[in-house]
Amino acid sequence: MQKSFITSTQYCQRNWDITKTIPQEHIDIFADAARYCPSKQNYAFYGLKFITNRNVIEQIHNITNPNGNGGFGVLTDPTKPISPDNMTFYTNPQTLANLLIIYNYRIPYAKQKNLKDKFKHYNYPFQRDGDIAIGISLGYLFYIANSLGYKTGGNACWDYELLIDILEEDQNYKPAAMLGIGFPDENRNSREHHTDPTFTFPQKPKEQIEIEFI
């Protein structure tokens, strides 16, 4: 395993070759990875939607910049201070991948309220363990997808009411994260916006993470 491969998985793909189709064999591998990766006590802290329907994917992409002020924001004029009037917001095109995966929070059966009441277990840190489980699952998918030659892009920006309407869910549905997996457009800079080629997303260097070896 080379460091160069590991570091290459850091980068978010912003445009895609949607003329190609991910084979079902690979989608099944992604589903198994997301389903069977580790979680606390093997509890199911999340559900998943695997979306390849382009109409649904494009609808979801369109709501990643709600009201023009909730997507990826950059300074309109870099010489002026940050302010609402000096920001331009863009949609998150990583959602336009060939495959879009959506995670939603769920309460494991063993931690549902009726059982918690029965066993006097009222203060279970559900959100913490749910976030950890989803993070582990995302890590599996990032690594496996890149190992198979795909590119990836995560996202946690959407209009909640519009999203549940698109997905035909109710208010009990709690989305947590999205992950796009797919074929990159080899003819474009990976950071160029899929639908707006006039904008290229900035790239930040990876912050140093300190490791203490004992």
Name which of 88, 126, 82 is nearest 107 in CA terms: 126
Calpha distance 142→196 (Å, rounded): 25
Calpha distance 166→145 (Å, rounded): 26
Task: Say if residue 112's pLDDT is above 80.
Answer: no
pLDDT of residue 9: 84
Mean pLDDT of the chain: 89
DSSP secondary structure letter of residue 161: H
Instruction: Supply the pTM of this predicted model.
Output: 0.89
Query: What fold characterizes domain 3-182?
Result: NADH Oxidase (3.40.109)
Task: Say if residue 119's pLDDT is above 60.
Answer: no
Position 69 confidence tier, pLDDT thresholds 50, 70, 90 = low
The structural domains of the chain, with segments of one domain joined by +, span 3-182
Task: Say if residue 113's pLDDT is above 70.
Answer: no
pLDDT of residue 122: 46
